[in-house]
Structure 1
Amino acid sequence: MEEQLAKWNSGFFGERSLKYFYRYLPKKDIIFVYNVRIFHIGYHFQIDTLIITSKFFMILEIKNYAGHLYFDDKFGQLVRTLNGKKDIFEDPILQVKRQLFHLTHILNKYKLPIIPIEPLVVISNPKSFVESSPTYKEALKIVIKSPKLQNKYEEFNNNYKENILTFKEMKKISKILYKLDEPYNPDIYKHFGIQHNELIRGVLCSKCDSTNIMNRVATSWKCTSCFSISKTAQIQALKDYALLISTQISNQECKNFLNLSTRDQSHYLLNSLKLTYTGTTRSRTYHLDSLLNS
């Protein structure tokens, strides 16, 4: 789980760092579409960033790999060497070309104007060294480091003279893509082979070791280890419940998950958060979605 989290964090910080370079693009003439995942011909394809202009589109496949990166066209792979260790990844050039294929078909399906689409692989880690096999001509055209994004935009803008889309059509395309977006939300229990009874229940202390449980004392929570006190520790616990189990919770489920002694305590805590709910008093279900957005 920690390995997968590290990979996700690497991608997240890579995309976030690229936003520094977006500010050098003419924003009034551009619409950005971020992280859309769309189902097409039995397969989900995902685009990190799509830059929509009136003349052309740019698909950005963003990689935050550190180390020495070698693009190998003979075997369709990316070889990363870091601290003396070699790792093999699928060639991101092939990835972004697949995204181009799927996006073109989606645009055709909705009878949108035909517009040039330029795929790019953007290496966002400033400490990476990029190299390709001598025969891999596409790598020289498609792979760039983050600081070259503005240059590539200006190159495409000079190459394509005709305005194909109005700004209204650009907005329409972005709305269609976001409407088709199906975010990846796997069953993490199946994904990692975890049983529900393996979860640590109760309110965890944020001041010391995260496995230390806090007890409900009067109107507060008190850690059994460091004895710190909190009035709002239940909020993080309910966020964990929403992320790990369900965004809906009953009074009894709250009592069990927070290790409370009475249903009155859970009823008070849930109502104090002013959550939306459905059902009557006895069969009420509270919705935790608002906690995830706060």
Structure 2
Amino acid sequence: MILYAKGGIYIEFYSYQQPIFPLEIFYAKIPNHNPQKIYLQNQLNNIKTGLRGELNVQRYLEEFQFPADSVIIHNFHSMIHSKWHIQIDYLLISRKGILLIEVKNIAGHIEFQSKPRQIVRTLDNGTVQAMDCPFTQLERNVMGLKQLNLNIPNLSTQTLVVWANRSSRLSINEIPKPHTLIMMKSISLYLTSYFKGPNTLTSNEVSHLKTALLEKTIKQRKTPFCQQYQVNKLDIRKGLYCSLCHNQLKKHIRSWVCPECKVDASEQLSANILSLFDIFDSELKVEVIHEHIPELSVKQIRSILKKLGMRNRGTGRGRIYFRED
């Protein structure tokens, strides 16, 4: 949780954004001939583009002077049931109710179509791509929230799409009600209008909502990458890789360096070890880590795991390390 003050009022800000470096290292470890390499590259680009937009929006949110009893959850995840999972970029809880914020950071000429509902992007080079409609995404998330049994009668739930890419050219005839779409720089103006008028919740109800939603928020630990992206574990390349440029790290006397971007070696060693828990399994033995990073000794790996605060159980060669969510 982060507390930041504006005008003497402290706002609670919770972020459940997962680090991107495990996916970067996974991408680096996949051989170029693997058929999933290009698909994963596209996934990485989309994730990084979306995250840049969300972080830009966050800077505008931090500028705004929210009223007391306001809580923001970034990257809210919740499992409605075993087959239905929702994700919301920003969830604002206040005495006005709940505001769902969907952030889009898509460049090009964007045309909103209603039948069927979708957006169509055209790049300057003529490439055309159809994408999911953000208003449909919001409606699905509102339906999901209603299934969470928050026990607040007449809870007001409003929706907002924030377009974070300044270079986009939007073509839209009509925004489906009751949604709102704004450009990123209009966030303060929108929130000023949003908070006008009477409140609908008490401070106690806001506190109840915050507690209930945080309890239902899951710190998302996905299916192991090999399984999720259908990559054979035997195809994963061994060694230490840079999470920034995807080149293999090289030993230089007593330290490790990236020949391309000269990243901090100690940080990259930890990143490589941690990524294996996302790539293969959430529980690993030191011997398995050593098999995939043979450049490091078992003693070095144990030392890094200890510094990372990784939990473990068992003794000797049977000791298993795991991440506690």
TM-score between both structures, scaled by the size of structure 1: 0.80
Change (3 A) 1:116 1:127: same
Count, aligned residues? 276
TM alignment of 1:92-241, pairs within 5 A: 92-106=134-148, 109-133=149-173, 136-138=174-176, 142-158=180-196, 160-161=197-198, 163-182=199-218, 183=220, 185-204=222-241, 210-211=247-248, 214=251, 220=254, 232=266, 234-241=269-276
- Residue equivalent to 1:266: 298
Using the alignment, how far apart are the partners of 1:104 and 1:111 within structure 2? 10
Using the alignment, how far apart are the partners of 1:285 and 1:76 within structure 2? 48
Using the alignment, how far apart are the partners of 1:207 and 1:92 within structure 2? 30
Shift of 1:144: 1.1
Determine if the alignment matches structure 1 residue 54 to structure 2 residue 95.
Answer: yes
Find the partner of 1:253 among 284, 288, 292.
288
Consecutive unaligned residues of structure 2, counting only runs of 5 or more, are 1-39
Consecutive unaligned residues of structure 1, counting only runs of 5 or more, are none
- Residue equivalent to 2:129: 87
Q: Residue 315 of structure 2 aligns to which amino acid in structure 1?
A: T
Q: Residue 267 of structure 1 aligns to which amino acid in structure 2?
A: K
Change (3 A) 1:24 1:172: same
SS of the aligned residue for 1:122 comes to: strand
1:121-159 Cα shifts (integer Å, max 9, x gaps):
1111111122212xx25379511111222222222323x
Change (3 A) 1:40 1:278: closer
Q: Residue 65 of structure 2 aligns to which amino acid in structure 1?
A: P
Cα RMSD (Å) of the superposition?
Answer: 3.3
Deviates more, 1:22-31 or 1:113-122: 22-31
Change (3 A) 1:24 1:39: same
Shift of 1:6: 0.3
Larger radius of gyration: 1
Using the alignment, how far apart are the partners of 2:314 and 2:182 within structure 1? 55
Change (3 A) 1:105 1:78: same
SS of the aligned residue for 1:203 comes to: coil
Which has more helix, going by share of residues?
Answer: 1
Shift of 1:7: 0.4
The higher-RCO structure (CA 8 Å, 6+ apart) is 2
Deviates more, 1:163-172 or 1:55-64: 163-172
Using the alignment, how far apart are the partners of 1:177 and 1:207 within structure 2? 34
Change (3 A) 1:119 1:255: closer
Percent identical pairs in the alignment equals 20
SS of the aligned residue for 1:6 comes to: helix
Contact 1:67-1:81 at 8 Å conserved across structures: yes
Change (3 A) 1:259 1:49: same
Q: Residue 31 of structure 1 aligns to which amino acid in structure 2?
A: V
Using the alignment, how far apart are the partners of 2:150 and 2:177 within structure 1? 31
SS of the aligned residue for 2:160 comes to: strand
